[in-house]
Structure 1
Amino acid sequence: MEEIPANCILSKGTTGCGATTLATVQNIPTLIAMPFVELIDNKAQQFPDNRNGRPVLLPIYGEGDKTREIRKYMDRHGDLPKIATTYDSVPKVCSILDSLGYDPYGNMHLCVDE
């Protein structure tokens, strides 16, 4: 499996890989929602950079304005963004992306990790 189909539920035991790993490496802009900060950090460490030395996965969580961090990432990765965030931060991330002129609802897949 090279790409997560839209509108589906995956079983890791059936597919042989986790959806978050596939969401991180597929060639589709993806917002990954995770329940815990530790999971986000772990996934970001698994994918620190691509062949160009750019970070593949942007971890976003915690308090404060993340606009600057997301803008900097999107300036370099706007063609294929991969952002991991907590469930409760999904609306905040989408709002920031929208304010930067990027339509997360029309241009990104949402992968919900449990």
Structure 2
Amino acid sequence: MFRLVRGTGHILDVLDVLHRDRLALRIHDGAFSAMDLTARHPRTGELLSTVKFMAQTLAAAGELQRDLQRELTYDGLRAAKAKGSKGGRRPAVPADKTGDVRTAYLEGRSIAA
């Protein structure tokens, strides 16, 4: 569900669009499977306050999770950079062999790793 919405305001918009188009969001397994996110007030047709609260709380938890993950990732990248690490894969061909490989390629010779 966290992948469906990006923030607390967005989840209510999504639920309103689903209701307008007469679609229901049902979560079949996991922690959220017991929740009914389609419950509306019988007279006004608005989302029940408890549904709004649950949806906003879940969206806020998802937003918090994403923010914490982003912070931890940046902290790890900064720590690695401070140690002198570079990001990304190691080159497939060592730097001292790159010139030989390029020359062989330009001459049309077979290149083996």
Q: TM-score range by the shorter chain?
A: under 0.3
Which structure has greater strand proportion? Answer: 1
RCO comparison, higher one (Cα < 8 Å, 6+): 1
If the length of structure 2 is used for normalisation, what is the TM-score? Answer: 0.27
* Bigger share in helix: 2
